[in-house]
Amino acid sequence: MKLTIKKALIVLAYSVVLPLQVNASNDKITTHSIETTGAVEVTESTNTIKKNSKQLTIARIYSSPSLNGKTPKSLKFSPDGTRVTYLQGKTEDLNRYDLWEYNLASKENKLLVDSQALFSGIEDLSDEEKARRERQRIFGVGILEYQFSQDGSALLFPLNGDIYYYHLTTKKAKRLTDTADFETDVKFSPKGNFVSYIRAQNIYVLNIASGEERQLTTDGAGVIKNGMSEFVAQEEMARMTGYWWAPNEQHIAFLRVDESPVQTVIRNEIYAEKIELIKQRYPATGTNNVDIQLAVTDIKGKKIRFVDLGDNKDIYIPRVKWLPDSENLSYQLQSRDQKTLTLKTYNLNKRRQQTLLTEQSSHWLNLHKDLTFLRDNKTFIWASERDGYKHLYHYDLNGTLISQLTKGKWVVDSLAHVDEKNGWLYFTGRADTPLERHLYKVPLNGKSPENVQRISQRNGFHSISFSATSDSYLDSFSNTQTPTQISLHAANGDHITWLAENKVTPEHPIAPYYDELVMPEFGSLKSDDGQADLYYKLYKPKNMQPGKKYPVIVMVYGGPHAQLVKNVWQGADMTQYMLQQDYIVYQLDNRGSNYRGTAFEYPIYQQLGQVEVTDQVTGVKYLHTLPYVDKERIGVFGHSYGGYMALMSMFTADHYFKAGVSGAPVTDWLLYDTHYTERYLNHPEANAAGYQQSSVFPYVSGLQGPMMIYHGMADDNVLFTNTTKLIKALQDEGKLFELMTYPGSKHSMRGKKVKVHLNTTIMNFFDRHFK
């Protein structure tokens, strides 16, 4: 592999440890601002916390209370805009969630539903629900999902496989189901008269007033699943449901999934005291997917109509959505090679279909959730990367383009809200810098797509949720110096009130450790061919000694749809622990990662692990130029795609990486699923050489330095077979390595005990080889 050193262009090299102080009246930064030549502005506070500092421990990082403070999640406006509800972990157990509310009139936070009062034991979940939570990356107990009724009078949530209904007036929770089977994917109907759910692979509805239950589908069993999302839809398309209510409550659209074409793999799930043989329908790349049908049923379950999806059955249906008139149903049809995406509508009364638009790419098309049909029932908003960057477009219902609403060499993250009355479209995006996410607005008339107006004011990351009334929004904000804060704003950005200020005071859980926190330096490098800017974050130990050279741990992910280098709060995490152990920590986003446009993503097409490693080596070459870096002690660590990157780096670039830790890695892309793998590598029959070159096995003989591998022994995403195959290859090559396996652990390696042991093991590995 030939690589040439390029001169590093440092965008920002300033390190601070103090928090942003915010004027609550207007949400503007009132501290001293430091001008930079780059994309990230860092601010220095005028206040400090006077408290004796403590050294961080791995056990404390994963213990309660959370060092990040109270960080509510799943925030929602009530439909009438009078309250905001959210989930919050208990102080004594951060993984047990209760339902809370913030009343906008009284400005008070209060507990609505104590999950432990309803159910205090260990949840006995079905295998289907366990897998669904793993796909959703949901971890914890108690209330983990909930939703409002349309009138805002009631809340609905599943708990321990049953359904609970909470009325906000009576302040009482009622258990709606009490069955041996598990109810999952629970929903209110649009007008709040019914509750729907999946039980035993069929769709049910329950009349809330009468208590009458109806079963809408009857053939769900075995390989047939009604209203449920298949594996790749959950894991790769972010589609966690398989059914959708019509706005008028008269019909439900649903997907009927037949898993019989999908190969059955028999794998071991190894637990501490048992081994389970699991038969899993796993669609490995190049093999058959499910057969899928789109249907519509009335709420009595007496009439089911199937939508004609065409002659080619080897397709995906990533999105389904009703139009406001309840007469037309839209669905997106994606080709197997993911180079074509078609948006269609089906008229329920006329039984006619119409193609609204078709997107095509020479590489692949990224899915999105930004399709919005406007209430005027005449137009819709659509997102596309057709000009190389994700932007928003306005169409009429005949599929005619009205206007491009946003434009420029930057990307839209997501559509946040459409204010039809006042003619504004709100979205989050990267118009200022790819390292931050802000809220913007543009006129809905499309007259100034390049002249977006930024609404959010503080530099950092903003996650936005608008009220239905269009006059206010919730902002979940953080940056490298500020723990996550939740605030309420007027639509113009003015700060109204805090929901969770989460200010770092002497009482905050992080206060004893705060003085030791180190903030990163941001910078950018040119790629080896000079075609791309590669952003990085560099963390240095706080009290570095002049003339001393330090070891470096390169924390890597490197895969698509990910970003590590961003101005967001990380807090007292493993990075800070490594710094306190006198390690430098370095992160770089290579080509193929997200939020930079298609030209930055596409270089990985049909051959993975090549340009990504080349870019990571460019980062290491920059580290070699720093006088305080010991180039003989640079290690690499990553999980999942990052685990794959750690292996490829150690096998093909051993001159730069001297030790590596690989977690739950894909080792042979033929072992991974269809939708993800074929998106980037194409079908194995069309790109056999690319699959071979993207596998780690042609490069195993290149391992020279110490290598540690770990994997959960019940992983149903990146199957444990990836690691057992690697173990055999390393042994056949006579390569020594270290291995740590975790009985019962899935891909996400959940649980405090697992996290503490895993990270202690990783640090022990680097300490032994670098100290």
CA distance 77 to 197: 23
CA distance 710 to 116: 35
640 flagged as catalytic: yes
CA distance 128 to 130: 5
Residue 365: CB atoms within 10 A of its CB come to 20
Which contacts of 371-379 are long-range, i.e. CB under 8 A and separated by 24 or more positions?
Answer: 371/319, 371/321, 371/330, 371/332, 371/343, 372/415, 372/418, 373/321, 373/323, 373/324, 373/330, 374/324, 374/418, 374/420, 375/324, 375/420, 376/420, 377/323, 377/324, 377/325
Catalytic residue from among 368, 391, 747, 769: 747
Catalytic residue from among 640, 662, 695, 748: 640
CA distance 628 to 545: 9
CA distance 251 to 229: 19
At 486 the three-state DSSP class reads strand
Whether the Cβ atoms of residue 74 and residue 146 lie closer than 8 Å to each other: yes
C-alpha dihedral (63, 64, 69, 73), degrees to nearest 10: 100
Whether the Cβ atoms of residue 657 and residue 702 lie closer than 8 Å to each other: no
CA distance 659 to 443: 53
611-624 vs 641-652: helix crossing angle, rounded to 10: 70
Structural element, H or E, at residue 305: strand 304-307
- List the structure tokens of 509: 């859980």
| Spatial CA neighbour of 601 closest among 558, 644, 560, 557 | 560
715 flagged as catalytic: yes
Q: What is the DSSP string of 529-577?
A: TSS-EEEEEEE--TTPPTT--EEEEEE----TT----SS----SSHHHH
Query: Does the N-terminal peptide bond of residue 434 adopt cis geometry, omega within 30 degrees of 0?
Result: no
What is the length of the chain? 771
Catalytic residue from among 185, 413, 673, 715: 715
The strand pair at 707-712 and 659-663 is best described as parallel
Beta-carbon-side half-sphere exposure of residue 701 (alpha carbons within 13 Å): 1
Amino acid at residue number 347 = N
Please list the active-site residues.
Answer: 640, 715, 747
